[in-house]
């Protein structure tokens, strides 16, 4: 199935693309998608990844404009034509 | 009514706002929550634009480490309350407006008194718990709320129109972990200017508000994107369960 994957800020630096169409297996989860990214990235010990190479759970993930609350729901299922947007938390003033 | 002095002072923006728009700015009372990196930028532009009453709330005093970005606080202000430091400069910039200082922490107990009579709430805070309080107050009172936040060379902003758009809690249900965030002052300039632009638009009815969209500024790559954001029917602050409590 095809999904649109959009990255922002330091995720964009790591992924190297602003928006891409991904082909994912049916039933893929957001957590699974991000694990795949880690494999594709040669230096996972930086920016959006923690020391063990996993994506930081504080990451913001919107599925079709809705926050999936990744920390609690990494097993959120992705469906065909979903738009997944990923960006780091920004809280300063 | 706009005076002769105001006509002269605001001439270049009256060209686009009209005198009626300028009068709306003059009649407005805006709560600016925070007098730090974002708050000092936003307040300069709103004061210069002639927003009639600027109420600035902040509980901190000026520290040396603020000076790389908090443009209304200068070397000689270290140790002064940020509200006093900001109010002094804003009064010197524009004596035709009123600047009100609220020197203290915004909390559940005082937020209604601070925000209740305002036409607009502008977020210049550095933490999400206080932002959620501003968001809830805005929803309860039906006051538009402009959110902005910065980190490093990144920033984000959105405008919440109660009952019409997602609220801040729909978009960001949980607080990010607290940190001493890295920041370059110019990022506050970008996001603060976006917030000030939104404020002028909302107060005068100009343009399309940044409603239902989150702007993400990426200073590293020098790009800006906006993401359409949706309401969460289960949002604790604006969802169905909140309706009974909050209205
Ligand atoms: Zn909400």
**CATH code for the domain in which residue B145 is found:** 3.40.50.720
Residue linked to tokens 């926050």: A67
Name the 3-class secondary structure at B59: coil
B42 contacts B147 by C-beta, under 8 angstroms: no
Average pLDDT over residues A59-81: 95
> Once rounded to an integer, what is the mean pLDDT over residues B32-46?
98
Q: How many domains does chain B have?
A: 1
Q: What is the mean pLDDT of residues B76-94?
A: 98
Q: List, as ranges, residues with CB under 5 A of the ion ligand 1.
A: B 167, 169-170, 235, 237-238
Nearest-5° Cα angle at B214, B209 to B220: 120
Give the helix/strand (H/E) hosting A11: helix A9-15
- From A83's Cα to the closest Cα of chain B, the distance in A is 10
Q: What is the ipTM of this complex?
A: 0.91
The Cα–Cα gap between B30 and B143 comes to 10
Q: What distance in angstroms lies between residue B242's CA and the mean position of ligand 1's atoms?
A: 9
- Per-residue model confidence (pLDDT) at position A10: 84
pLDDT of residue B166: 98
This prediction has a pTM of: 0.96
B156-168 confidence digits (pLDDT tens) = 999 999 999 999 9
- Could you tell me what percent of chain B has a pLDDT over 90? 95
Quick one: pLDDT at residue B206?
97
Q: What is the pLDDT of residue B42?
A: 99
The closest alpha carbon to B140, from B168, B163, B109, B113, belongs to B163
Mean pLDDT, rounded, for B226-244: 89
| Distance from the B235 Cα atom to the nearest Cα atom in chain A, whole angstroms | 11
pLDDT at position A65 over 80:
yes
Contact B173 A69 (CB under 8 A): yes
Which residues lie closer than 8 Å to B247 by C-beta, 6 or more apart?
B140
Other beta carbons within 10 Å of B53: 17
Residue B246 Cα to ligand 1 midpoint, Å, equals: 12
Distance from CA of A39 to the nearest CA of B (A): 24
Q: Which residues form the domain of B175?
A: 4-246
- The dihedral through the CA atoms of B63, B68, B73, B75 has a sign that is positive
Q: Which of B125, B149, B221 sits opposite A90 (nearest CB)?
A: B149
Cα separation, B149 vs B154, whole angstroms: 9
Name the band, by pLDDT with cuts 50, 70 and 90, for residue B247. Answer: very low
Ligand 1 centre distance from Cα of residue A62 (Å): 14
Q: Which of B37, B173, B176 sits opposite A91 (nearest CB)?
A: B176
Helices (H), chain B: 4-9, 11-27, 37-49, 82-93, 111-115, 128-141, 168-171, 185-204, 240-246
Residues 6+ apart with CB under 8 A from B62: B70, B73, B77, B78, B79, B80, B81, B82, B85
* Predicted local confidence at residue A43, as pLDDT: 60
* Residues A8-38: tens digit of each pLDDT: 988 888 777 889 999 999 999 999 998 887 7
Tens digits of per-residue pLDDT, B173-196? 999 988 999 999 999 999 999 999
Torsion on CA atoms B179, B183, B188, B190, rounded to nearest 10: -120
Which residues in chain A have their CB less than 8 angstroms from residue B230's CB? Answer: 64-66
Look at residue B1 and give its three-state secondary structure.
coil
Model confidence at B245, pLDDT cuts 50, 70, 90, reads low
Q: Which CATH class is domain A2-87?
A: alpha beta
């Amino acid at each position: 199935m095809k999904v649109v994957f959009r990255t922002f800020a330091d995720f964009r630096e790591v992924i190297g693309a602003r928006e891409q169409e991904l082909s994912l297996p049916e039933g893929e989860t957001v957590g699974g998608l991000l694990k795949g990214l880690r494999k594709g990235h040669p230096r996972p010990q930086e920016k959006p990844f923690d020391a063990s190479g996993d994506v930081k759970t504080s990451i913001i993930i919107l599925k079709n404009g809705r926050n999936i609350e990744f920390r609690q729901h990494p097993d959120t299922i992705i469906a065909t034509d979903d738009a997944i947007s990923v960006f780091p938390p920004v809280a300063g003033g | 009514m706009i005076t002769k002095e105001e006509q002269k002072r605001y001439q270049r923006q009256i060209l686009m706002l009209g005198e009626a728009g300028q009068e709306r700015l003059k009649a407005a009372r805006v709560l600016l929550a925070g007098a730090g990196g974002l708050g000092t930028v936003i307040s300069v532009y709103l004061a210069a634009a002639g927003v009639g009453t600027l109420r600035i709330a902040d509980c901190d005093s000026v520290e040396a480490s603020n000076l790389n970005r908090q443009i209304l606080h200068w070397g000689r202000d270290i140790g002064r309350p940020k509200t006093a430091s900001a109010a002094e400069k804003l009064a010197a910039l524009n004596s035709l407006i009123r600047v009100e200082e609220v020197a203290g922490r915004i909390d559940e107990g005082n937020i209604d008194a601070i925000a209740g009579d305002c036409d607009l709430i502008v977020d210049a805070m550095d933490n999400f718990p206080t932002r959620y309080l501003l968001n809830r107050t805005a929803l309860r009172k039906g006051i538009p709320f402009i959110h902005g936040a910065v980190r490093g060379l990144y920033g984000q902003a959105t405008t919440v129109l109660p009952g019409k758009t997602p609220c801040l809690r729909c978009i960001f249900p949980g607080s990010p972990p607290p940190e001493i965030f890295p920041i370059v002052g110019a990022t506050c300039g970008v996001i603060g200017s976006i917030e000030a632009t939104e404020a002028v638009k909302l107060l005068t009815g100009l343009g399309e508000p940044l409603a239902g969209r989150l702007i993400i500024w990426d200073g590293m790559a020098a790009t800006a994107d906006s993401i359409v954001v949706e309401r969460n029917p289960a949002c604790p602050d604006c969802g169905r369960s909140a309706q009974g409590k909050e209205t």
